[in-house]
Structures are given as C-alpha cells and as structure tokens.
Amino acid sequence: MKTLTQTIVALTIMMFGLVLAQDTVPGVWNKSIQGGLNLTQTGFDNWAAGGENAFAWQTNLNYKFVKAQEKTSWSNTGKFLYGATKTGDADVRKSADEIKLESVLTLKHWAKINPFIAVTGETQFTAGYDYSTDSSFQISDFMDPGYFRESMGAEYVINEGLATRLGLSAKQTVTSDYPVPYADDVETSEIETFRSEIGAESVTDLRYELAENTLYVSKLELFSAFTTFNKIDVNWDNTLTVKISEYLNMNMNFKLVYDRNVSAKRQIKESMALGINYTFI
C-alpha cells in the first residue's frame, strides 16, 4: 500500500513537472479572478424589544486559469474564503475559513472521454475553536489538518457545463498538534499525525445558468478507501449566485461533508450573504 501511494505521488509530480517545463509551448491561457466582500451590521440603543449589537463580514477570492493546447488542457482553480462575526460583548469568532487548490491535466484523445491526472490541496487560514462549551478550546489550525489527493483516471465531459471524472486516488491527511480525530488511528497504541489512504475517487463539476443573472455551481467529490470500500467520504459544495447589479451579488452556499475519520455524522454548513463582487480578470 505504501509503495502504491509513493508511485501515484511520483507520477503526479513527474506529470506536472513535464507540463511546467513545456509551458512555453504555444497555448491560450483563459484567466478568471473574482473576489467579494459581504458585510452585515445590527445596532441597538434603548430598544424595548431587546437584542444584541452584531457585526459580520466575509470575503472570498476565486480564480481559474485554464491553458488549452493541441493535445492537453491544464486547469488550475483556487478558492479562498474567510469570515468572522462579533455579537454583543463576545470575542470575534471565525465563521468561515477555507483554502482549496486544484490542478487537473487532461490529455486530449477523444471528444468526450479523456485520461487525466490531478492534485488537490485543502486547509484553512487560522485556528479553529469549538464554541459548544462555555470554555472554548482550539481544535484546528493552518495545515492542521491539511488534506491532499493525487488521482488519475478518465474524465467524461457530458456537456459544456457538466463533467465528471473517475479514477484511482491517493489521499493524505497531515496534522501536528491535533492528530485526533483527523489522522490518528484509534486501533493502534501510537499517536499518528499522518494518514495515507488508497482508493477510488469521483469528482463531478456542474455549472448551470438558471437565468441570465442566476448561476448555480456545484462540486461533488466522493472518495472511498479500498480498505473500507463500503464507506464513502463526501464533500458536496453548492453555490447559487444572483447578480443584482454590476457589482452587487446575493450568494447562497450549502456545503455537506461526511468523513468517517472525523465524525460519524454528516457535517452541514450553510450561508446567505449580500455584498460586493468584483471581477479582476
């Protein structure tokens, strides 16, 4: 199992090293960078019905660089999200925190189905805390945990806005101060700060315009380790964006995560925000 993991990682590094070395080959870069800022404020002064002052903010930056060449297509995407809230006299608390990078190299052989190789990395910016108790305590931090996946297989382009890929995948979870529950194996006496799994991965991307000013984007990631093939990790991220004006958008996000190593129950995060959105490129 360890040898197979090392082989997949080595092949991934070699493939992307080859692409970087050939980056001078003529091709067209299609670039897109978008950012947004959402603010919410509520204040009270002698308000008979009661209430607490509150302030919340959230910022995001998304990019997508795609280089199309005659025999290859190289897609690089990134998602950066951070937000915080302050209610009454309580300390500022983090409400959103995500860093996700993905790079996919597709070899063009056929019109609909083509081989691919991909790498994905995911973590957060700052420390995370559990506020479910009176005395909050830290449970995560930058690269603690960090998730990495390397995969290879076949991609099927169903239509312009819908594509799915399936392949062999290696997944690594790294931690330092918080091995439990992210990387530690409870069945061993040692405390592990690194978990490596080999399995099958499926990634489906959907981009659909519901109306001229309404866009729905969905990404469904499924991973199942060969050692526990009947248990599937799920990461499903959905965003609905309604463009009100050139710079004003309303965004609704729903994210569902299931990772048996972290929690026996599914995790859900949802948000709705109205704010400024700007396209840099």
Domain boundaries, the chain: 2-42+53-279
What lies within 8 Å, CB to CB, of 117 at 6+ separation is 11, 12, 15, 16, 104, 105, 150, 151, 152
Residue-level pLDDT at 279: 86
- Torsion sign, CA atoms 183, 12, 7, 232: positive
- pLDDT tens digit at each of 281 positions of the chain: 455 455 555 555 555 555 555 455 566 789 999 999 998 888 988 788 888 899 999 999 999 999 988 889 999 999 999 999 999 888 899 999 999 999 999 998 888 899 999 999 999 999 999 887 766 789 999 999 999 999 999 999 999 899 999 999 999 999 999 999 899 888 888 999 999 999 999 999 999 999 999 999 999 999 999 988 888 999 999 999 999 998 999 999 999 999 988 888 999 999 888 899 888 87
Residue 263: phi and psi, rounded to 5, are -155, 140
Residue-level pLDDT at 22: 47
- Among candidate residues 220, 204, 230, the one with its CA nearest the CA of residue 256: 220
pLDDT digits (tens, 9 = 90+) for 224-236: 999 888 889 999 9
Convert 47-65 to b/e letters by CB count within 10 Å (16 or more is b): eeeeeeeeebbbbbebbbb
Residue-level pLDDT at 7: 52
Can you list the pairs that 125-131 forms with residues at least 24 positions away whose Cβ atoms lie under 8 Å?
Answer: 125/82, 125/97, 125/99, 126/82, 126/94, 126/97, 128/94, 128/97, 129/93, 129/94, 131/93
Provide the 10 A C-beta neighbour count for residue 217. 16
**What CATH number is given for 2-42+53-279 in this structure?**
2.40.230
- Torsion sign, CA atoms 232, 183, 176, 91: positive
Q: What is the C-alpha separation between 123 and 104, in angstroms, rounded? A: 19
Residue 264: phi and psi, rounded to 5, are -75, -15
- How far does the chain reach from its first CA to its final CA, in angstroms? 43
Residue-level pLDDT at 149: 94
Residue-level pLDDT at 278: 86
Residue-level pLDDT at 186: 80
Whole-prediction pTM? 0.86
Q: What is the C-alpha separation between 54 and 107, in angstroms, rounded? A: 51
What are the residue ranges of helices labelled H in the chain? 2-21, 179-182
